Structure 1
Amino acid sequence: MPDSSRDTAEGAGWGTPEPGVYEELMPRRVEKLSWLNPKTLWPARNGLLASWFGDPTGSTRGRWVEQRLAAGAPADAVVRRDDPDDFSFMVIGDTGEGDAPQYAVVPGFLQVGQDTSFAVLASDVVYPVGGADDYGTKFYRPYKDYPAPIYAIPGNHDWYEDLQGFMREFCDAPPLTPRAAPRRFSRAWLRSLLWHTPGTPDEQRLAEARQSRSAPGQRAVQPGPYWAIDAGPVRIIGIDTGLLGTVDAEQGRWLREVSKGERPKVLITGTPLYVDAEYHPCPIEGGGGTVDDIVRDPGHHYVAAIGGDIHNYQRYPVRVDGRTVQYVVAGGGGAFMHATHTIPPVTVAGVREKDFRCYPLRGDSLAFYSRLYGRRLRLPRFFTLTDAQATAVIAERLGIPPTRAQGEPAPITPRTRLVAALLGAGRRPGRASRLRLPVRKTYTQLFSPGSATYSPPFFKCFLRLDVTPGSIRLRCFSATGNRKQELDPPVEDEVIIPLR
């Protein structure tokens, strides 16, 4: 088994190893997505408008579901497959930036997933706004050689054009008919004045792109933006959390219904329920409780809940009524990397630091961001930390032993402490540094996508789940962009989930 980041610095992708061949898969011209560019920011305004003037996602989703029902989609939105009791599937989240970090995942994904029955894309299939014209380079081209069907749930970025591109490409749905004009001077009317609507796609380019995944075994027309898949002994349920991370009342009723029964279940959600040592149960509109209420109900037999949206890997084994539910973050499939070094020591829902897993490791995350800030501020000698320095200072600030075994620990100097503090390393809950550079929210909203690194290590990841009648083996594989990890992707985390 190859070294992972938990074993050696080389396993994490540091040093000067041979670059992978992922660049050969990319188009000749790649547009580097930057959220500092007004041409990107302006079309992506719908999320902000929804938070100001009311979120229309639920009603729009209802119209999509009605359209799919009229077209013959199953009323219960369940896909019934004929997989055997022993089968495997892939999960990969937040993929669609269409640049080097996304394509760097592809060789390892194909290597690990070559014998799997299907894959699920968990959130944000296409950035920046889910436009149909972007599907060629951000979906069809990178996964053209994956031989099995790909199902998906939308993320908030897929909703920035009212889900038009997503519904067209995954559900074969025509555009919705325009709504009646809202009452003048109402909140909906004010929202409509600025609301971004999709343009007309390039039909010829889309038709050519679809040919790359046109084999009969690759096709999968799903019932709608949320669905369930009965495969072997398990039911996999995908929910759509829209623009603002909520579930509408109609979808909530459906979720309760398809969650009934003794068949073990895995939830795939656009927003994780546990992330960054915090609990986000996901409200259901109309007083319907939360998504996690449904997951925790012992009569529903959930064994795992996997969410995208946050661009790294995290796992929280939570004890619920005498059983363990694995809550997983799996959004490291291609978009810029969200930091893990800002995660405080974990004490949430009975999960302690020793039970928690993340990728990249906090030290690697700090080293990665120190290089980004060194380049952006043109102060590389001050900001840049080696992986050993970052690992040592993280251990000191969090009061935990180094995750990766190494030789003589790197000395911790005033500079390394200052850089770690400036970058928010190991911040305790409720304690905000008076002088801290934006890393978690502000940085990732503004600087991080524009500062995405285009050379390894990328710290991307994907999941493989191997199902048997008695268990699910969940493994997180890394993708660094280096040739060695392309040929034999390291396992960064593994857990056996009992089904009985």
Structure 2
Amino acid sequence: MSESSRDTAEGAGWGAEERGEYRALMPRQVEKVYWLNPKTLWAARNGVLASWFGDPTGGTRSRWVKQQEAAGAPTDKVIRRHTADRFSFMVLGDTGEGDDPQYAVVPGFLKTGQDTDFAVIASDVIYPVGTTADYGTKFFRPYQGYPAPIYAIPGNHDWYEDLYGFMRVFCEAAPPAPAPAPRRLSRAGLRSLLWHRPAEPDGQLVQEAQALRPDPAQQAVQPGPYWAIDAGRVRIIGIDTGLLGTIDAEQGRWLREVSKGPRPKILVTGSPLYVDGEHHPCPIEGGGTVDDIVRDPDNHYVAAIGGDIHNYQRYPVEVDGRTIQYVVSGGGGAFMHATHTIPRVSIANVTEKDFRCYPLRGDSLAFYSRLYGRRLRLRRFFTLTEAEAMAVIAERLGIPPTRTPGSPVRVTPRVRLVAGLLGAGRRPERASRFRLPVRKIYTRLFSPGSATYSPPFFKNFLRLDVTAEAIRLRCFAATGNLRQEVDPPVEDEVTIPLV
């Protein structure tokens, strides 16, 4: 097995490595997503409008669901797959930028997933706004070699065009009837004036894209944007958290109903419940939270996997004498969200000893130091070696280095200053007053605008192998280098008992 980032710097993808062959899969011309382009920002305005004037996605989702039920979709939204107790599936999150980081994941994903029964995309299938026309290069082309069906739940970016592209591709749905026009002087009326409206789907373009995955074994039609899959002994439940990371009352009632019973369950959500050392239980319109349902012992959840944040994290949380694995897996192809900004973990009795992430915090800090050095034209000041970054993270968090350097590393005042400016992880009692914009809303703007198109990319995907007794969950790395492409390293592994 290939060495991982926890073993060596080379295992993380650093050094003079040979680039992988993923570029042979890409189209000749790739339109990169430039998030600081005013045209792109304007097209992606619906999330801001929903937070200012009220979120209409619950009503839109309800119209989609009712239309699907009228067309014959099962009202319980359960997809029943006839698999044995032993089966396997893949999980990718936040895939659809259509450029080097997305395609760099594909060779390892195909090699690792050739014998699996299906795959699930957890959030943001298509960037920047979920346009139907983008599915050819950002979904059908990269995964044309995957031999099994691919299911998906939408992310906030898929909702920027009211889910038209997502529903056309995954549910074979025609556009629903428009909502009644709101009063002009109401908040909804003001929102409607500025709302980004979907482009009319080009049926011929969609058919041409679908021809890239023509095998009957690759086909699947979902009942809607949220669903459940019964396979073997396990039920996998996918929920749609819309634009703002919440679910409507109608979907909440369905989730409570479909979660009942002794069958072990895995939640797949567009908004992770534990992330960056914080708890985000995901409110349900009308009361309660998604995590209340996950924690209920009568529902028998064993894991909750979320996209949206573009890295990997795992929190094994003890709930009433059992362990639920809360996982973030959004490293399927979009720009990388920092992990070095995650403070020393201490939440829900999960400590640093139990917590796992990828990229390692030191690799994340080294990556961002190069990024800011290039962006600000201060490379000599900002750039940290991987060993320096690993050492200063260990110092700031008060933990042993995750990857032991080959020789002693001196943490200089410059190294400490750069780490502080870039918001490197810290103990809660040592919060810094001034940090450059690395986390939260600034990351969503600055990081994509400074995205790199050469390795290492620090992407990831999951493989879950299910038996009657347990689920084996593995996180594989994709760096864009040939070494990790030929033999994808395992960055994390956990066995989840089902008995």
Question: 2:164 touches 2:201 (CA, 8 Å); kept in 1?
Answer: no
Aligned partner letter, 1:145: G
**Cα distance, 1:256 vs structure 2:** 0.6
Identity %: 79
Count residues in correspondence.
Answer: 499
The 1-side partners of 2:349 and 2:442 are apart by 30
Per mean C-alpha deviation after superposition, the further-off stretch among 445-454 and 144-153 is 445-454
Question: 2:63 touches 2:177 (CA, 8 Å); kept in 1?
Answer: no
Aligned partner letter, 1:137: T
**Cα distance, 1:179 vs structure 2:** 2.0
The 1-side partners of 2:10 and 2:346 are apart by 30
- Is 1:39 the counterpart of 2:42 in the alignment? no
Q: State the partner residue of 1:434.
A: 433
Q: State the partner residue of 2:139.
A: 139
Aligned partner letter, 1:129: V
Question: 2:88 touches 2:465 (CA, 8 Å); kept in 1?
Answer: yes
**Cα distance, 1:432 vs structure 2:** 4.7
Aligned partner letter, 2:31: E
The 2-side partners of 1:248 and 1:147 are apart by 34
The 2-side partners of 1:66 and 1:77 are apart by 12
Per mean C-alpha deviation after superposition, the further-off stretch among 360-369 and 194-203 is 194-203
The normalised TM-score by structure 1 is: 0.99
The list of structure 1 runs, each at least 4 consecutive aligned residues, that deviate by more than 3 angstroms after superposition, is 427-432
Question: 1:22 touches 1:481 (CA, 8 Å); kept in 2?
Answer: yes
Question: 2:460 touches 2:476 (CA, 8 Å); kept in 1?
Answer: yes
Q: How does 1:216-365 map to 2 (within 5 A)?
A: 216-287=216-287, 289-365=288-364
Q: State the partner residue of 1:470.
A: 469
What SS is found at the alignment partner of 1:188? helix
The 1-side partners of 2:428 and 2:45 are apart by 30
Aligned partner letter, 2:54: G
1:201-244 Cα shifts (integer Å, max 9, x gaps): 33333221110012100011001000000001100000000000
Aligned partner letter, 1:178: P
Question: 1:5 touches 1:12 (CA, 8 Å); kept in 2?
Answer: yes
What SS is found at the alignment partner of 2:353? helix
The 1-side partners of 2:184 and 2:455 are apart by 53
Q: How does 1:24-173 map to 2 (within 5 A)?
A: 24-173=24-173
1:131-179 Cα shifts (integer Å, max 9, x gaps): 1011011000000000000000000000001111100100000011222
Question: 1:392 touches 1:409 (CA, 8 Å); kept in 2?
Answer: no
CA RMSD of aligned residues (A): 0.9
Q: How does 1:451-490 map to 2 (within 5 A)?
A: 451-490=450-489
Question: 1:91 touches 1:122 (CA, 8 Å); kept in 2?
Answer: yes
The 1-side partners of 2:428 and 2:175 are apart by 45
**Cα distance, 1:56 vs structure 2:** 0.5
Aligned partner letter, 1:154: P
Q: State the partner residue of 1:206.
A: 206
Aligned partner letter, 1:300: N
Q: State the partner residue of 2:396.
A: 397
The 1-side partners of 2:451 and 2:43 are apart by 20
Question: 2:396 touches 2:427 (CA, 8 Å); kept in 1?
Answer: no
What SS is found at the alignment partner of 2:298? coil
Aligned partner letter, 2:335: F
**Cα distance, 1:429 vs structure 2:** 4.0
Aligned partner letter, 1:284: I
Q: State the partner residue of 1:7.
A: 7
1:378-431 Cα shifts (integer Å, max 9, x gaps): 111111111001000100011010001222232111111111000000144476
Per mean C-alpha deviation after superposition, the further-off stretch among 192-201 and 310-319 is 192-201
Q: State the partner residue of 1:181.
A: 181
Q: State the partner residue of 1:191.
A: 191
